[in-house]
Amino acid sequence: MHILVTGGAGYIGTHTCIALIEAGHSVVVLDNFSNSHPEALKRVEQICQRPVPFYEGDAGDADTLKYIFSQHHIDGVIHFAGSKAVGESVEKPMLYYRNNVTASQTLIETMNDAGVHTLVFSSSATVYGDPQSVPIFEDFPLGPTNPYGRSKLMVEQIIQDFCQASGAFSGIILRYFNPVGAHDSGKIGEDPNGIPNNLMPFIAQVAVGKRETLSVFGSDYPTADGTGVRDYIHVCDLADGHVKALETLHGQPGSHIFNLGTGNGISVLEMVNAYASASEQPVPYQLVARRPGDVACCYANSDHAKKVLGWEAKHDLHSMVSSSWHWQSGNPDGYQSGK
């Protein structure tokens, strides 16, 4: 299949482009490089040993999308492009609703007008909010607690309503838990702008000496060691989930929702210790107050994806932290500095 990947120069986007190409598909990338780097696409071309056509632009720009659809026969779209920082979404909600909701609506309408009827949407476990229990199933109550999570849920609802009305559109909603790790080449990886919001890139930057110490947000949660527990999933497993979703559900009208997680909960301190062990670098940390909005524990049940898509996560914690270190140690300043 020929797939348009919006946000394809980003962390999950680059890994998914590689997985698609290695599965025999072809990709076209659309990215505005607001939270990614053109060098990342060059690395994808090096890894895949083939050119990756790309367009610089916004995923919500109808004219750009129409042009791409006129130049390429596209079978489906994977939509990664969007804003994704929880804290920033609280400060700038209208930016998040414009970038995530309005843009997605424009994409869906433009796709449909061009006869492209398969969409894979990058959603998030954040739509569950503070879960009633764990593991989390797809039919759990949805209760996002910030504009980022609410924007993701709004797009899910737009997709479901459009699929219902269209009768010919396949909307595949993938709810990611916590993506981490990197491609085993060490050529691509997570390279957030500025101070990392997320745990893994922050730990990686401490290990490589770019940052002094990690602040552990909360040590009084009702968990085994008092720190937050999450379902960390290797980004290559996540990428594989997108390929399987497209190959299974392309041309199957309706909306389909899947959790993509490992089903295992890992605490902050377990992650710190695993990283220090794999990198053989100290990861100094300090226990500080909880971060507002954080939940104690969140991990997935992904049986639905296993049953319908034949997908399950295969990489273990050591693979997650060692692949992250391979990327970070080879690219201390991300794509600005890599070899």
Catalytic residues: 148
What residues between 261 and 280 interact with ligand WQD by CB under 6 A? Answer: 268
Contact window for ligand WQD (CB under 6 A) among 24-32, 46-54, 194-202, 256-264:
194-202
Q: Is 97 in the site for ligand WQD (CB under 6 A)?
A: no
* Spatial separation of the C-alpha atoms in residues 276 and 298, rounded to whole Å: 23
Q: Which is nearer to ligand WQD, 34 or 215 (CB)?
A: 215
Residue 230 binding ligand WQD, by CB under 6 A: yes
Q: 3-class SS at 115? A: coil
* Residue 294 Cβ vs ligand WQD, minimum distance, rounded to whole Å: 4
For residues 36 and 110, which CB has a smaller minimum distance to ligand WQD in the complex? 36
Gap between the Cα atoms of 224 and 205, Å rounded: 26
| Residue placing its CB nearer to ligand WQD in the complex, 214 or 278 | 214
Q: Which helix (H) or strand (E) holds 235?
A: helix 235-249
Query: Which residue's CB is nearer to ligand WQD, number 197 or number 264?
Result: 197
Which of residues 202, 311, 325, 335 is near ligand WQD by CB under 6 A? 202
- The Cα–Cα gap between 271 and 264 comes to 12
- Select the residue interacting with ligand WQD from 33, 97, 137, 217 (CB under 6 A): 217
Using rule CB under 6 A, residue 173 touches ligand WQD: no
Contacts of 323 (CB under 8 A, 6+ apart): 181, 182, 183, 184, 186, 189, 234, 236, 315
Spatial CA neighbour of 223 closest among 152, 134, 146:
134
Structural element, H or E, at residue 256: strand 254-260
CB 270 within 8 A of CB 297: no
The only residue of 98, 211, 291, 304 in contact with ligand WQD, by rule CB under 6 A: 291
Per-residue x/- marks for ligand WQD, 113-142, CB under 6 A?
Answer: -----------x-x----------------
